[in-house]
Amino acid sequence: MFGYCAIFPKDYEFDKDELVLLWMAEGFLQQSQRMRKCMKELGDDCFNELLSRSFFQPSSGMKSKFTMHDLLNDLAQHVTGEICFRMEDNMDNNERCNISPKACHSAFMRHYCEVYKRFKAFDHELHRLRTFLALPISKSDTRQTFCLSNGVLVNIPPKLLYLRVLLLTEYDISELPNSIGDLKHLRLLNLSGTSIKWLPKSVTDLYNLQTLSLHRCSELSMPKFVLCKSGGLGLNHLNNLELLQGMLSIVGLQNVKNVRDAEEANLNNKRELDELELLWSSEVQDSQNEELQANVLNMLRPHKGLKRLKIEFYRGLTFPSWIGDLSFSKTTQISLKGCTKCASLPPLGQLPLLKELHIQGMHAIKNVGAEFYGDGGSLETRFPSLETLSFEDMPEWEGWCSCIGVEFVGHFPCLRQLTMAKCPKLVSVSVLRLPSLCKLKIERCREVVLKSLIELTSLRQLFIKDISGLTHLQEEFTHFLVSLENFEVCDCAALVTLWQKGNTPQHLSHLQHLSVEGCSELVCLTEEDQMLPCNLESLRVSGCDCLGRLPNGLESHTSLKVLELERCPKLVSFQEANLPPMLRSLRLTDCSSLESLPNCNSCLEELCLNECSSLRCLPMDTFSSTLKSLEIRNCEELGSILEPIRLNIIMEEPGCFRISDWPKLEKLSVSMPPFYCDLSYKKGQPFPTGSSLITPNLRRLRISGIANDICFASKFQSLTSLTVLFMSYCDNLESFPQENLPPNLKDIFILNCNNLKPLSEWGLHRLSSLQNFHMNGVCIPRATFLAG
C-alpha cells in the first residue's frame, strides 16, 4: 500500500479519504473472518499505521491533506519499479510517453487542454493497467475546469479492459461514451467537478463498482429512490444493497401496499448509512391506512449507527418503538414533519448525542410530557447534548410539562437555539431554565410562553413576533437578559410599551441592536424618563402607528450610531435639540407628522428623508463635513427651505450653503414633486456655474424633475470621482456636452427625458470610461453609443 503512493509526484498533497478509496478499489484491503470491520475502517487503520511510522506526514495546510518526504517517495518508486509510473517522468525528447508493459498504476498531471496525442502510448493494449489517475497541477487548481479531448474518452478507456480506478475530476466533460460499460472490473469512478449531464445506461453494467463520486457536478440531477404504485421500483429492490453509504432518501412510501416489502428492504443491515429520509406524500388521501403506514415505518428500522433521520407526512397514529430507542446512541439529528395523526412524541430525550431536533406540523399533539423525555436509562438529564430545538405549526398544542419526577434534576443543559412558532393554544408551560440558550425565536404564541422562560443569562438573540396578549415585557423575563445583543419585536398588536415604569432596561448592558416593527398600539419604547440601554448601537422602529415620542436622553446617548424610523405617522418631533453625538446614519421614511429635525452632529455620514410630508425645518447649517450620502425624496414642505439652497448652488452667494462644504460626499439624491430638484436652476443660467458643486468624493448623482432648460458648466468635469449619473423627468434635456462630462463616468441612466437628440450627436465616444448606458430601462449596446 505504501508502494502504491509512488504514483504521486514529490511534494504532492493527497487526501486521506481519497487514498483509502483507492486502496479499496485496488483490492489492497482484505477483511478477516475474526475482525468484522468495514473496508473503510480497515483503510483508516492502515493509513494511521503508516502515519505513526512517519511514512506520511501532515500537510501544513488542510487537516485532511498529507504528503510524503522526498526520500520516502524515492523509496516507494524503487520498491515498485515499473509497476507504478508517472507520465511526466517517462517522457522522451519528443514528448511521447514510454510505458512499460509491466505497468499497473499510472498517474499524470492535468493540463489545461488535454489532446489525444499526449496519450498515444495507450493505443497499445495495456492488460495490466489498473489505475488511470488525473492529478491537479497545484493546490490552487482544484476549482478550475480543464478541457479533455473527446478522442481521449472515446479511444483510451476501451483499451484498458482491466482498469479498476478511473479518475477524471475537474474536466469539462458533459457525457461519457457507452463504452464505459465495458470496464467490467472498474471499482472506482470519480467524475467530481465535471460538467456531466447524465450517465449512460451502460454504467449499470459495472457490477464491480464500489465508489461513484459525483461531487460538484452541478449539471447532473440524480433521482431519489421513488416508489411507484405498480411496477417500477419497490422497497424490496434495496434488499441486497448492503454497502449503501452516506444518505438514502425514500420517496413515495404511501405507495407501499405490502408490509413485507418494507421488511425486505433490509435497512437494518445497511451499516454504512449515515442519513435516512422516509417521505410520504404531503397530499391527504382518503385511502390512507394508518395501521399499514405504522407497520411499514416499523419495518424500516435502520441500523443503530444512524446519525440523521427525517420523517415527513407519516400518518400512522403512533411512532414505532425504535424511534428514540436508547440503542440509537449515535443519532445527532432528527426531523419530524407533517405527521398529523400522531398524538404523542417519541422518547427522544434519552438519545445521548442528539444535537438537533425539529418538530413541525404535528396537528394532533395536545400535550408534551414525560413520554417526550423517556426514562433515560443511566442518563441523569434529558436531551444532554441537544443544541437546537424547534416546534412549529402545532395548532392544537396546549401543554408542555417539563417535570418528570422529583428525582429529575434538569434537562436541555446544552440547548443554544429554541424556536416556538405557530402554537396559538399553548397555555400551560412548566418553568424552563435554559442556562446555555443563545438564540430564542417565539412566533404566534401566547404571552405565557415568554413567562415560562426564566434566567436566560446566556441569551444573545431574541426574536418575538405576533405574541397575543403581550402589552409590555415582564421584568421577570427581561431581568436576566444580561447577555442580550440583538432584540427584534414584530407584529405584537397589543404591545403598548417595551419597558413599563419601574422595569428599567439599563441592565441590558450588552444590547446593541433593537428593532420594533408592526406594533400598531405602541405608544412609546420606554415610559416616563427611562433611557434606552446604554450600549445600544442601532435602533429601528417601523409601522408603529401610535408612536408619539422617542425615549428621553437620545442627545446624550453616546453609543447610538444608526437610527431608522419608518411609518410612524404620529411622531411630530424628536423633543430634543441635538441628535446623538456619535450617530452616523439617520433614515426617516413616511413619518407624515414629523415637522423638524434636531441639529446634526460631527459624525453623521448618511441622511435619508423620504415621504416626510410635514417636514419644514432642516438644519442644513449643522450638517457634518463627514456627510457621505444625502437623499431627500418627496418631502413637499421642504421646498421653501431648499429654494435658497438651489439658488446659491448656482450663484455662489457668500456665506450660503454649498455642496463643497461636504468634502466626503459620495452620493447625492434630492428630488421633490412636482418636478423639483435642488440641482435645478432658473432659465437663462448655466447648470450649475460655480465650484459649489465640486466635491472630490461624489460618486453617484441623481438629477430629477427639472422642467426648464439645462446646460452643463465646465466645472461639471471636475467631478473626478463621479461614476454613476441618473437623470429623470428633465423634459428640456437634449444631450450631454461633448467636452464637459466627468472623466470617470461609467454608468448613465436616462428616464423619461422627452426631448433628447439622437445619440450620434452626444459625443459619448469621447468618454472612454463609459461602460453602460440605459435609456428608459433599455440597455443600449456599447457599440451603438460609442459609434460617434
- CA 62 from chain centre, in angstroms, equals 23
pLDDT digits (tens, 9 = 90+) for 326-375: 999 999 999 999 999 999 999 999 999 999 999 999 999 999 988 999 87
Asked if pLDDT for residue 659 goes beyond 80, the answer is no
The contacts of residue 708 (CB under 8 Å, 6+ apart) are 680, 681, 682, 683, 732
- Give the Cα separation of 585 and 635 in Å (integer): 19
Q: What angle do CA 317, 318, 322 make, to 5 degrees?
A: 150
pLDDT at position 687 is 42
- Is the pLDDT higher at 762 or at 437? 437
Nearest Cα residue to 536 out of 504, 563, 512, 510 = 512
Residues in the chain, overall count: 788
d(CA 193, CA 189): 13
Yes or no: say if 377 and 347 are a contact pair by the CB < 8 Å rule: no
Q: How far is CA 662 from the centre of its chain?
A: 38
At 160, is the pLDDT very low, low, confident or very high (cuts 50, 70, 90)? Answer: confident
- Alpha-carbon span 491 to 494, nearest angstrom: 9
Quick check: helix, strand or coil at residue 41?
A: helix
> With bands split at pLDDT 50, 70 and 90, how would you rate the model's confidence at 542?
very high
Q: Report the distance separating Cα 375 and Cα 288, nearest Å.
A: 33
| More confidently predicted of 8 and 768 | 8
What's the rounded Cα separation, in Å, for the pair 341 and 355? 26
573-631 per-position pLDDT tens digit: 887 778 888 999 999 999 999 988 888 777 888 888 888 988 887 776 666 677 777 78
- Rounded Cα distance between 141 and 131, Å, is 22
Summary mean pLDDT of the chain: 80
Residue 695's pLDDT is 58
Structure letter (DSSP) for residue 26: H
- φ, ψ (nearest 5 deg) of residue 717: -75, -10
Give 64-75 pLDDT, tens digit per residue.
Answer: 789 999 999 889
The per-residue DSSP string of 395-463 comes to TT--EE-----TT---B-TT--EEEEES-TT--EE--EE-TT--EEEEES-BHHHHHHEE--TT--EEE
Q: Answer whether 322's CB lies under 8 Å from 298's CB.
A: yes
Block residue for cell numbers 524515492:
74
Is the CB of residue 683 less than 8 Å from the CB of residue 658?
Answer: no
Q: Which residues contact 125 (CB under 8 A, 6 or more apart)?
A: 159, 161
pLDDT band at residue 761, thresholds of 50, 70 and 90? confident
Burial (CB count within 10 angstroms: exposed 0-12, middle 13-18, buried 19+), residue 765: middle
Return the ∠ at Cα 18 (arms to 156 and 190), rounded to 5°. 35
**How does pLDDT run across 224-254, given as a tens digit for each residue?**
666 666 555 678 778 877 777 788 888 888 8
pLDDT, tens digit (0-9, with 9 covering 90-100), for 101-138 = 788 888 887 777 766 667 766 666 567 788 888 887 54
For residue range 16-55, list pLDDT tens digits in order: 888 999 999 998 887 665 555 677 788 888 999 999 999 9
Question: Sheet containing 65-67: which strands, arranged edge to edge?
Answer: 14-15, 65-67, 57-58
pLDDT digits 0-9 by tens, 476-529: 888 889 999 999 999 999 999 998 876 767 788 899 999 999 999 999 998 877
Give the whole-angstrom CA distance, residue 408 versus residue 51: 47
Which residues does 476 contact at the CB level (< 8 Å), separation at least 6? 451, 454
Residue 384 has pLDDT above 90, yes or no: yes
Average pLDDT over residues 405-422: 79
